[in-house]
Structure 1
Amino acid sequence: MPLERVLVVGIDFGTTFSGAAASYSEKPDTPDDICVIKSWPGGTGTSEKVPSEISYGPFTDGPASKKKGPASLKESLAAMSIQDKPSGPAFKWGFQLRPDEPRLRCIKLFLDRGQNIPSYVSKADVVEKLFDADRDTTDVVADYLSELYKHAKEALVRRYGEVFMSTTKMRFVLTVPAVWSDKAKNATMQAAERAGIHEDLSMITEPEAAAVYALQAIQPNPLLVGDNFVVCDAGGGTVDLISYEIKQLSPALRIEESATGTGGLCGAVFLNLRFEAHCRDKMGAQNFDAMRTQKPKSWISALNYFEEYVKRKFDPKDTNEFFIPLPGMMDDEDAGIDSGFLCLESEEIASIFEPVIADVIKLVEGQVNVLFASGRRVSGIILVGGFGQSSYLFNRLKARFDNAVPFPSSSHEATNNQGSAITASRIEVMQPAHAWTAVVRGAVLRGLEGTDPVVSRCARRYYGVTCSDYYQPGKHPSSAKYWEPMQEIFMIDMEVTWFITKGQTVSSTDPICFWFSRVLQPGDSRIVVDDLITCDDDTAPDWYDAGGHAAKILCTLETDLSTVPEHFWKEECGPSGQIFHRLDHQLGMQIESGGLKFDLRVNGVTYGSVVAEFK
């Protein structure tokens, strides 16, 4: 529980849609009592989410912005880099955009260079739009978040009044994907701060937020202490999964990661693309393209109906056919167009869904197989997200996991920690009532509770630092040697000590300590810099090679050792009689939900924070 009453605001910045929610109380009566913002600038009705789209023009209802021409590759890469820039040009966002206006979409994914970009998003087009607007990726995300942030505050002023808002402390919780790199999480935080969110700000991963909400909203549920469950956050562009084991249900929820998160590009927007391709085949490419050009509102009506009704309600057991509105289109018996409607049989809709549904099921199977192979029994699958609202996806997952479950990737029967055989059993598939807003609601609950519900996490990569060793000609490159004045000998600084290994269970509260023995000469600056080395491979190398691809520098860690009391520094004398000062200390590192946290420790006592600058 927080020490003081605050207004907690959750912000879910999604790949295709974003949302905001808030609550002012120590805990709402139910998780569904959280206030979700449903009115947006430019919107014609109510919606629990707003499109994650932004445009810097040219606009159809105003003067066109001046084009600079195509960017060179060098200029394009410069536009994508993180740098400080002045306030940018005017822009539209969310529902303000007209259908025929250019836009940047899925811009969130460009914060993490390791993420795959959907095929329907042109990287070259994104780079050109960034260059034309004189913005980089972080600038664009900051612009979008600034409008989301300002609108959320305006909506809350209307709800609570100006006096209340001016005298009440606010706490913001921003969601990020669990599969993102540490650099991408840091870039998200930078964008949020650049957007003007200067209040108490923290981050939580999307599946963690969804788990916090779902386990409180789905009551009663069959999950007990010791059970493992998979969170499947099926959104518009991406599907992210992570698994947890329940360690405690009351008085507060405590869970731990039991399998490393995975994800893929198989979100609901791919249904839209397959729907478009199906309509093109059914109507004929020439007729379809003519409709898109001459009657664009007809296609918008069809796509909106598919988006709002078919994707969410389709279930072949309930509906035999759907009538897709195509106002203004002439009757075409061969294409199935009659009286301004395109008739699609249930089998046709199922063919649109099938490949995407199959990809989601494959991802869930992957999580279940990992848990099963490690000797854990899986009791539940929690389905959330925009695509997670789909009745068909829910029923397909239920059919797949409802009975005795085969594990196709397991070559042998798994055993638990006691050596007893674990057999496949029924896995309960659960879908909370507010699946689309489960993440943002969970972010609010996380902010209200004030404590991290995840007691431990699985490290997604190796973390370590380089350590010194004696230079050996023939074994070490001569270009990397350096003179060590205290011992008066050549040393090498390439060997890596890995303090955290990939897949290792790491406590959320107890830091992993990196040990250092620092030797300085009198007069040397006591502000020191170290490189944090990471490796995503399953097996990490013993050496860091600046030109290699396995081990990389994630960030530099700047530590101010002047905060350490003088009595901890030991005076030592070199072979030539020169005086040195040695300090044995540690850098504490915690893997938190929203990123990494570092501090300086000596003999178990913390003497300050460590500044991380990501490359």
Structure 2
Amino acid sequence: MSHKTIVAAIDFGTTYSGYAFSFGHEFKTDPLKISCTNHFHTRSGAGMSLKTPTCILFSPDQQFHSFGYEAEEKYSDLLMDGEHRTWYYFQRFKMMLYSCQDLKRDTNLQTSDGKSFPAIKIFSSAINYLVNHMLSAMGDKVAGVGHDDVHWVLTVPAIWDDKAKHFMRTAAEMAGIKGQNLSIALEPEAASFFCRYLPVEKWSDGDKSGISCFEPGKRYLVLDAGGGTVDITVHEVLHDGHLRELFKANGGPWGGTTIDEAYKEFLVDLCGQNTIARFERDFKDDFMDLLREFEVKKRTVSPELDQKVTLKIPIALHEAFQDDHGKSFREVVSERQDLQRKLVFAGDKMRLEPSLMKSFFHKTCYTIVGHLKDMFDKPELSGVATILMVGGFSESPMLRHAIQTNFSRMRVVVPNEAGLAVLKGLSYLAISRR
């Protein structure tokens, strides 16, 4: 890396992906000067975003078409025109590597409607898109930047096995990144390096000793809660500033997408498995809009929520329910005693009581808290007094409250940019070692 003047980091997330880059000459004057600006156009060009959805679209002849917001919008258009059946659309496909028991280069993934597609092509095309998008963004600062002028760093969850990590490296090389110009970094380590150099005012607790957990000799636990997985590692700060891993990285598939799954299970309970399956199959655009709206609303849920949450229910779902059950959706739901005063309808909208909306978080938070309690019973974690929460899901008030309540004797620290800690930390970690 010593001859590279630019380090670029790609955070390949389950739900959202993004990138950041740093220049060597800027690092010398300000280590935290990491370029991570609004590069992605949101749906319908309504604004710009730091990250873009991890979804990808291929044409009927299996050629790459688009990634992120562009893929979402194109596929929605195809759905409305009834032309989607021969296209290949994948979203949140990163978790498929975690769950794949025998991952190989020739492994195939399935679209939601059962079409098979080479997994390596999906990942290499996604990385290639992000690389080219980043090179274009870099060009605004330095003209003529190419692949070989950059040292690339790609994130992987700490709990992935070696096969998954090797698969990601192969995909990156297929995307045009030379092996000698590529590093694979663990997400919790990158987040730790970024957080330890944040100014005190960047910590959400505002305590002047906010970075004391990074002093030599200190031990702390990193809870990296992303969209798909939760990675948990325990670090000790050595006297030379490096980190020593005290406990083998562990965790599980308990990320923010599990809240979406809880909502889908709720809809299945309301409507029946057959109705929801048919709704998802025949009205896929409405189904995607339904989940997209919930994705936005769930971010506002906090323990203090005391107002009903309003969610739009597509007419197509009402009609599918009527066809399957011979009764109206509203009529059947209103007869359920367990939902009395918890759910009401207003026009085409469903209004949920705060307690019902919060309940979608209970299983996930309970699982994460239980796993942490089991870990803190182990002798290797003696002396650990701080929990550092990073990752997009760590920004959820519900998860933060669950951790703070159950570990009240410990210091729980959440940087204001928890969702960007991994991404920015990658650039910092790599360029600081040049």
Fold match by TM threshold 0.5: yes
In the alignment, structure 1 residue 215 sits paired with structure 2 residue 206: no
**Counterpart of 2:53?**
51
| 5+ residue gaps, structure 2 | 201-209, 319-328, 335-342
Structure 2 counterpart of 1:321: 308
Matched, 1:142 2:124: yes
Q: Distance in 1 between matches of 2:303 and 2:198?
A: 28
Amino acid at match of 2:211: N
Q: How far apart, in 2, do the equivalents of 1:286 and 1:318 lie?
A: 33
Distance 1:384 1:339 in 2: 39
The structure having more radius of gyration, on CA atoms, is 1
- Listed one character per residue, the Cα deviations across residues 203-259 of structure 1 (whole Å, up to 9, x for unaligned) are 2111111111122226333413222111111111111111101123xxx73210011
Corresponding residue to 2:366 among 348, 358, 364: 358
Q: Please tell me whether the aligned partners of residues 218 and 432 of structure 1 are also in contact (alpha carbons under 8 angstroms).
A: no
- Distance change in 2, residues 1:309/1:212 (3 Å): farther
- 1:196 & 1:289 partners in 2: Cα distance? 39
Residue 171 of structure 1, CA deviation? 1.9
Match of 1:307 among 289, 295, 298: 295
The offset of 1:114, in angstroms, is 6.4
Q: How many residues align?
A: 382
In 1, the alpha carbon distance for the partners of 2:286 and 2:160 equals 38
Q: Structure 1 CA distance, aligned partners of 2:345 and 2:279? A: 13
* Equivalent in the alignment of 2:396: 390
> d(CA) in 2 for partners of 1:317 and 1:18?
30
Q: Deviations over 1:572-607 (max 9, x none)?
A: xxxxxxxxxxxxxxxxxxxxxxxxxxxxxxxxxxxx
Quote the residue 2:165 is aligned against.
185
Residue matched to 2:149: 169
Structure 1 gaps, min length 5: 58-63, 66-87, 403-425, 452-615
**Equivalent pairs: percent with the same residue?**
25
Structure 1's 319 and 116: CA in aligned 2 closer, same or farther, altered over 3 A? farther
TM-score, normalising length: structure 2: 0.76
Shift of 1:401: 0.6
Tell me: CA distance 1:215–1:369, structure 2 relative to 1, closer, same or farther (3 Å): farther
Deviation string, structure 1 residues 471-499 (Cα, Å, up to 9, x no partner): xxxxxxxxxxxxxxxxxxxxxxxxxxxxx
CA apart distance, 1:90? 3.5
SS in 1 for 2:48: coil
Q: Which residue of 1 aligns with 2:246?
A: 258
Q: Match of 2:183, SS?
A: strand
2:429 partner SS: helix
Contact 2:157 2:229 in 1 (8 A): no
Q: Given the superposition, is the C-alpha separation of residues 191 and 395 from structure 1 closer, same or farther in structure 2, using an over 3 Å criterion? A: same
Once residues 319 and 394 of structure 1 are traced to their aligned partners in structure 2, the CA distance between those partners, rounded to angstroms, is: 18
- Tell me which of 158, 161, 176 is aligned to 1:196: 176
Quick one: higher RCO (CA 8 Å, sep 6+), 1 or 2? 2
Residues 172 and 270 (structure 1 numbering): CA distance in 2 closer, same or farther, change over 3 Å?
same
The answer to whether the 8 Å contact 1:232/1:364 transfers is no
Residue 26, structure 1, aligned to residue 27, structure 2: yes
The structure with the largest helix share of the pair is 2
Q: Distance in 1 between matches of 2:296 and 2:280?
A: 20
- Does the C-alpha gap of structure 1 residues 375 and 104 become closer, same or farther in structure 2, counting only changes over 3 Å? closer
Cα distance between partner residues in 2 of 1:103 and 1:390 = 28
Give the Cα–Cα distance (whole angstroms) in 2 for the partners of residues 285 and 326 of structure 1: 17
Task: Provide Cα deviations, 1:290-340, integer angstroms capped at 9, x if missing partner.
Answer: 865786655544422321232x22113233321223466889483622133
When residues 287 and 437 of structure 1 are mapped into structure 2, their CA distance, relative to the original with a 3 A threshold, is: same
* Residues 544-594 of structure 1: per-residue CA shift (max 9 Å, x gap): xxxxxxxxxxxxxxxxxxxxxxxxxxxxxxxxxxxxxxxxxxxxxxxxxxx
1:244 aligns with 2:235: yes
| Counterpart-to-counterpart distance in 1, 2:380 and 2:129 | 45
| Matched-pair contact (CA < 8 Å) for 1:233–1:241 | yes
**CA contact under 8 A between 1:15 and 1:237: conserved in structure 2?**
yes
Q: C-alpha distance in 2, partners of 1:166/1:386?
A: 30
Q: How does 1:453-532 map to 2 (within 5 A)?
A: none
Residues 150 and 348 of structure 1, relative CA distance in 2, 3 Å threshold: same
Task: Give the corresponding residue for 2:207.
Answer: none
Q: State the AA in 2 paired with 1:427.
A: M
CA distance in 2, matches of 1:286, 1:172: 46
Say whether 1:232 aligns with 2:232.
no
Give the strand-richer structure, 1 or 2.
1
Q: Is the 8 A contact 2:153 2:182 kept in 1?
A: yes
1:433 to 1:192, Cα distance in 2 relative to 1, 3 A = same
Task: Sort the Cα spacing of 1:342 and 1:128 in 2 relative to 1 into closer, same or farther, 3 A.
Answer: closer
CA pair 237-377 structure 1, distance change in 2 beyond 3 A: same
TM-score under structure 1 normalisation? 0.55
* 8 Å contact from structure 1 (residues 30, 217) kept in 2: no
